[in-house]
Amino acid sequence: MNSYGQGALSTSSKKAIKYYDEGELLVKQRKFPEAIDQYNKAVATDSDFIEAHLRLAFCYELLRNNDGLQRHLEEVIRIAPRSVKYKNAYYSLAKVYFNQGKYKLSEAMIETLEQLGIDNPRMKADVVKMKENVTFAVENLQKPIDIHPAPMGATINGHPYQYFPVLTADEQNIIYTVRMGSSFYDDENIVISAKDANGNWTKPVSISPNINSQFNEGTCTISADGRILIFTTCEGRQGYGGCDLYISEKQGDDWGVPKNLGPGINSRSWESQPALSADGRKLYFVSDRAGGVGKRDIWVAEKDTQNSWQKARNLGTSINTSEEEVSPFIHVNGSTLFFASTGYPGFGGYDLYKSEKADTTWSTPVNLGYPLNTFEDQVSLFISVNGKNGYYSFEKAEGGERRESLLYSFEFPGEGILENKSIFITGNIYDANSKKPLKAEIELFILGENVPASIFASDSITGEYLTILNENSRIALYINCPGYLFESETFDLSNGEKLAVRHDFYLKPINIGNSVRLNNLFFDVNSADLSPESKTELNKVVRFLNDNPGVRISIAGHTDDQGTEQYNQQLSQSRAQAVYDYLVKEGINPQTLTFAGYGESKPIVRKTDEESRRLNRRIEFMVEGL
């Protein structure tokens, strides 16, 4: 708090001055509670003793006692209204009122302060920002968003402190941080709760003995499939600085021993509050390291093609300010970033904001509005895959200190909060013969692009996988496993109707006679011209043959039953040859390839509806030799 001007004291009471001087000595000794006792005796002797009230305000501010701070600042203004000498009381009281959500009172204090004059440039800049926040808050309180946040219930909120919730993409598991006792300084652990058959949350339990320890573990993030966890630890594990980020991977039901993410991400400074992209290849986090924009900034690191984390970079001034940016959350769509900040116009404390990414540029952050944001701190927002459900921690403070932190949930109205929506696809990958689960590599491509948008793997024990597909896009999905033919599938999400898809894959061993359908080849109607989007699949066949140099294949073209038999046979032959020609052009030995057209003679489905005809129109390749 600023000094308010000293000099001649405002009281003539020697007794009051004696108490005041004793308080001053105690302040120099940093014995603030004892000093408060003396200053209180001074104002009890003379209730209009301005300097004693100012010193009480000073002490209460240091002790984060906002009630005491406010009370004595109000006394100064009562005793000496509109006094130039004590005008800084208006400045401090404007901040107190703003932090309590009393925006009109704060506005009145600022108005009087400006009339009295502001000489300090730093104070003037602070007042400009405070006025902007007051104006924003008053205006936006009048247009609340239609949400109704509510506590998640006693089962989830079983501790005085729980915060930073994250959920798996299917919203069947919630993982969050709890304090194990009633004090904010008690042990901090990561817990997990799952929904039962009735849709109720079960009692949270420790996520794993490999992760939780006698030291603090918290502020975690999880990949969309629930199998990669990154969390914060500040002691007890080998690290680079005060707090570091660690990773643990899940196989079956067991979490692996955590590993430090290394010097590309961790530094000698503070790193915490991680947010992992859906595929686990991009990590946003908070650090106060040198080279940032403000006090705490959001940083990002990415994995290279060798699955190594590259050096983190600051997200830049499009997101970070000179103040605090914390608790990032990157939605599974990969393009919507939510975070908390004290640096943008808001209602006070930490507010929640949203920014959209287009190419490499982030849009200007937008305040998420009231009642999600209030004058109290709101942090750690999580938004569901479909953009409809929100989860966050609501912190209650008293006397400037956090007294309770509960998990809240709510539902956005209408279409939700997202511009770019997503669905999730899940299933298992098996050996087609034995039905044994397989650990397979899964690649996602935007059709027509030759660089995968995402690469991940199924669980080595269960074969389970889960991934995110963004709406308004056409996705090619590939399942690869050494010793097996790859499988492909197309997902056209341009209509945006589905929320989730289940698709199991059965991989065939690379044996003579086994064949696979090429689902991502596209021809114009009644044409053998391959569309540009087919390049993704064709290059996949090229890579498969290069990775398996002894394999010889035959390419078979098939049509539906529309048109004459002769026409269909010729069309299927031309389409099979178009695939053959592309592979040869890309360097595949023509001696390992044959092709043929079968027209409508080998249908998969003997029906005449459009879906059956779509299934019958296809290109396959079969293993003819090894």
Collapsing DSSP to helix, strand or coil, 18 comes out as: helix
pLDDT value for 495? 65
User: Which helix H or strand E contains 88, and what residues bound it?
Assistant: helix 88-99
383 beta partners:
390
Maximum distance among all alpha carbons in the chain? 117
| Residues of the chain below pLDDT 70 | 1-7, 184, 397-403, 494-499
* Nearest in space to 375 (alpha carbons), one of 105, 17, 90, 26: 105
End-to-end CA distance of the chain: 81
Q: What is the pLDDT of residues 38-82, one digit of tens each?
A: 999 999 999 999 999 999 999 999 998 999 999 999 999 999 999
- How far apart (Å, rounded) are the C-alpha atoms in residues 257 and 572? 54
Residue with token string 């002490």 = 59
625 beta partners:
552
pLDDT value for 5? 44
* Nearest in space to 266 (alpha carbons), one of 293, 287, 237: 287
Alpha carbons within 13 A on the beta-carbon side of 590: 6
pLDDT value for 3? 44
Alpha carbons within 13 A on the beta-carbon side of 108: 8
pLDDT value for 1? 47
pLDDT value for 7? 60
User: Which helix H or strand E contains 104, and what residues bound it?
Assistant: helix 103-116
Collapsing DSSP to helix, strand or coil, 579 comes out as: helix
Residue 76, burial from CB neighbour count under 10 angstroms (0-12, 13-18, 19+): buried
pLDDT value for 4? 43
pLDDT value for 287? 96
Q: What is the pTM of this model?
A: 0.86
pLDDT value for 498? 61
Give the start-end residues of each E strand in 447-592: 454-457, 464-470, 474-480, 487-492, 500-502, 505-507, 515-517, 552-558
- Residues written for the chain: 626
- How far apart (Å, rounded) are the C-alpha atoms in residues 533 and 216? 50
